[in-house]
């Protein structure tokens, strides 16, 4: 199971996107999110998807890895599509039966919303988890939020917590897989019965998983205390982040692409 899910997993590589400064990637990720949730013209959405495909090619990521990042979110995307399609009553009716009425505008909005969700998940994987190590993400966040230190905001501690959270996602997924297999070997059944019974059955997974998570957190705290970790004050870095001209040029190119998509969306709207 853990090997089939790419969420939170770093894929080693030597591509330009792997080498790109993580601060640029985080800024571009948030800019990309703004574009994703702003554009609504189908042609611009197609261009946005094309840009994402080009990023996959540049990152040299296997399509199987990209597929595993999409698979878990597909049921959510389908649910959001159906919910938007049946609740939006504006436009011409294309299907009507009993209390269900679907319009052309409802279908359009539902499709755009579902595509936005998928683009968001894939872009998160490409910009951050798949091409950037949790340590680099932590260092980049700490660098970007450095001005908040002037108001005594615990920037280092926040970055460290986010890094640890990302690092433990694959671990918790693997732990869940082990617990499920252990419970199935003892006769547990999660695929039959009513929905209520299935939900009750999953408590046999959640309780051991919570106990295991607290145990891991306690072990991590002891390990950090044994290494005399006391926050970011006075700490130095072996390989500090360095922003190169290449990073700046790539960031500017991505910024121009984002601005161009927003302009085209306003023109074609």
How confident is the model over 174-194, as pLDDT tens digits? 888 888 888 888 877 776 767
Average pLDDT, stretch 156-168? 79
- Give the pLDDT band (50/70/90) at residue 8: low
Per the model's pLDDT, the better-predicted residue between 13 and 262 turns out to be 262
Distance CA 221, CA 233 (A): 18
Average pLDDT, stretch 149-170? 80
Average pLDDT, stretch 98-126? 84
pLDDT given for residue 252 in this prediction: 92
Of 3, 47, 10, 2, the residue nearest 166 (C-alpha): 10
For tokens 């547990």, name the residue. Answer: 188
Does the pLDDT value for residue 3 go beyond 50? no
How confident is the model over 27-41, as pLDDT tens digits? 888 888 889 888 888
Q: How distant, in Å, are the alpha carbons of 86, 93, 190, 236 from that of 77? A: 14, 23, 23, 43
Structure pTM?
0.75
């Amino acid at each position: 199971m853990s090997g089939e899910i790419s969420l939170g997993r770093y894929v080693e590589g030597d591509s330009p996107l792997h080498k790109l400064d993580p601060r640029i990637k985080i800024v571009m990720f948030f800019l990309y999110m703004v574009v994703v949730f702003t554009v609504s013209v189908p042609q611009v959405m197609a261009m946005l998807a094309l840009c994402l495909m080009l990023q996959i090619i540049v990152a040299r990521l296997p399509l199987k890895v990209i597929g595993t990042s999409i698979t878990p979110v597909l049921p959510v995307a389908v649910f959001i599509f159906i919910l938007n399609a049946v609740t939006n009553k504006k436009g011409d009716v294309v299907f009507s039966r009993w209390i269900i009425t679907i319009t052309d505008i409802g279908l359009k909005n539902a499709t755009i919303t579902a595509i936005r969700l998928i683009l968001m998940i894939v872009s998160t994987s490409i910009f951050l988890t798949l091409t950037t190590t949790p340590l680099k993400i932590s260092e980049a966040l700490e660098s970007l939020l450095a001005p908040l230190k002037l108001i005594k905001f615990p920037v280092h501690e926040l970055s460290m917590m986010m890094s640890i959270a990302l690092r433990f996602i694959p671990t918790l997924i693997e732990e869940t897989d082990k617990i499920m297999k252990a419970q199935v070997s003892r006769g547990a059944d999660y695929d039959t019965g009513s929905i209520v019974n299935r939900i009750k059955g999953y408590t046999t997974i959640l309780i051991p998983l919570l106990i295991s998570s607290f145990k891991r957190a306690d072990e991590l705290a002891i390990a950090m205390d044994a290494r005399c970790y006391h926050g970011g004050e006075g700490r130095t870095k072996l390989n500090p982040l360095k922003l190169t001209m290449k990073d700046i040029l790539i960031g500017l190119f991505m910024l121009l692409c984002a601005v161009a998509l927003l302009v085209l969306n306003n023109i074609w709207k």
